[in-house]
Amino acid sequence: MPQHWRRQGIARLVVVVSLSLGLLCCPEARATDGASWSEGVVYTVSVSSFPSWKLDVSAEFPHTPEYFTMSDWSSFRFDEGWSALIQDAVAIQGGESSALTPGSENRWHHGGSTGAEPIVVRYSLDLEKAFSVHRELPKTTAPWSDGRSLAIPGFCLFLFSSQQTSFQVNFLLSEGWRVDTGWPHAEDGGFYGESLDSLLKNSIVVGDHRAIEVDVDGLRISAVPLGRHADGIDQLAPIVDAHARRFRSLFEDPDNNNYLMVLLDDPWDTGESYTDSFAMAYSTPIREFNQAAWGHTIAHELFHYWLGARMEAADWAQSQWFSEGTTDYMATRAMVDGGFTTPDELFDVMQKHVSFYELFKQGIVYDKLSLVEAGSQKTTHNAAIYDGGWLVAFCFDVILREKTSNSVTMGTVLRKLWNSHRKSLTSEGYTIEQVVVIAEQLGGSEIREFSDRFVVGNESIPLEEYFRRAGLRLVVDAQMAWVRPMAEVESPVLEIRRGLIGSVD
């Protein structure tokens, strides 16, 4: 096993200083890289699982806001949002304790004064309520447990103030347990972050589990397979390592960060990307024989770390065909170029995308809907966004490779977009027009015409033509698609095909 792969053992006990009712202790936390933060909120989370999962949370706020808030992100399961999970909530100010009372808009009100004085908030979470309500719904955006470990997103765990930014989170765990998250480690044993997004939009795993750690030139990735997936832990490292190296190289990304991958054993095959983590639900235990499927999902969600978390669109709805479809296409490319997908498996992927796109375009309701417009209802127009978006990225890739003798690809477009629109450079999100301009500069005017007709416009893409230009024969019959390599192609087309799918000669 290479040096940069290391299997962790069972967790150590994280010890922090507990708070008493009459004493508020808010030390300055220091990051492991030497940076420091102050005036942040310090959370202490106590976790136990016998006889059932119980989370007790204490939060030290250096100043007292008017009210506290529980995120409503993905909280549609409850009329009152994630606030439905909170029990025994109290506020402690100046040694005096008072009950926190829920109000409208997921707000919790205290009985103390507002201003510079610090305040402590304490509450418990009823996770059994969450488990019972969510039993028939996807678990990537909700608490999940396999009995030994608990995976939970930050947005259904933490009360917060809209004024806060930096934070530290400490955990009190049973002996032998561990905690995994995408947050950086603080010197005193906890974790820290510098934004509300980082606090709320990240996954956390606590309990008795193992993890694979992959270090890609300073990008430190922990992968935690839970449930039946735990038996396939040795299958994870090569694919995680290969995908991370490919994407980091594509974007020429020098930043050193932590990242968490959580693999849930759940009937819903889906994934959710967060700020520094993702949660993936997969119904079949991860093994080598089915790596084409779960390896692709890992690639897709990891790619969102760059296209999504650290580089966002100015208009979320209009960009969905690009952010999801292009991400899925680049995940396919990663599986092919990494040798994790065979040509026949790739043809199956292509056939699926074509079939669903054809069904979408022939639908009575959607025949006049463009891919740009489809993003306004992402779930309903899933085929337009994922399958149509994948096919647009494929066609762009064919045009770019054809124009430049295979030297410029869709990856080149993404790198140029990253170099001008990643969050560390600008607060302005990219627009689809800017994507088209970059691709047009690299691939010529055909890119503009294609976008006007088949992306912004609602014409159907002449897929047979673009597959032929890639040296592939596409046959569509009654919404069923069939893709295979053409028997005889000219040398330039052969090179494009080899660049796209490898050698099938």
366 — phi, psi (to 5°)?
Answer: -105, 5
Alpha-carbon gap, residue 91 to 484, rounded angstroms: 66
Architecture of domain 311-501: Orthogonal Bundle (1.10)
pLDDT tens, position by position, 215-236: 999 999 999 999 999 999 999 9
Q: What are the residue ranges in the chain where pLDDT is below 70?
A: 1-39, 50-51, 134-137, 364-367, 479, 503-505
Structure tokens at 22: 């009459």
Domain 5-303's class?
mainly beta
At 162, phi and psi to the nearest 5?
Answer: -65, -15
Please tell me the pTM assigned to this model.
Answer: 0.87
Question: Given the structure tokens 């809907």, which residue do they identify?
Answer: 369
Of 279, 383, 262, which Cα lies nearest the Cα of 328?
383
Q: Which alpha helices (H) appear in 18-63, and where do they start and end? A: none
Stated length of the chain:
505
Instruction: Please tell me the distance from the alpha carbon of residue 143 to that of residue 204, in angstroms, as a whole number.
Output: 10
Q: How far apart are the first and last CA of the chain?
A: 33
Count of CB atoms situated within 10 Å of the CB of 336: 18
Do 193 and 172 touch, CB atoms closer than 8 A? no
Name the residue among 400, 257, 260 with its Cα closest to residue 326: 400
Distance CA 471, CA 474 (A): 10
Distance in angstroms (rounded) separating the CA atoms of residues 345 and 175: 45
Residue 215: the pLDDT is 95
Alpha-carbon torsion 28, 29, 33, 37, what sign? negative
Q: DSSP letter at 33?
A: T
Give domain limits for the chain. Answer: 5-303, 311-501
- 172 forms bridges with which residues in the sheet? 46
The closest alpha carbon to 121, from 139, 98, 142, belongs to 98
Please tell me the distance from the alpha carbon of residue 130 to that of residue 157, in angstroms, as a whole number: 12
* Cα 477 to Cα 455: distance, rounded to the nearest angstrom: 23
Read out DSSP for 281-336?
EESS---GGGHHHHHHHHHHHHHTIIIIISS-BSSTTTTHHHHHHHHHHHHHHHHH
Angle at 79 between CA 77 and CA 83, to 5 degrees: 85
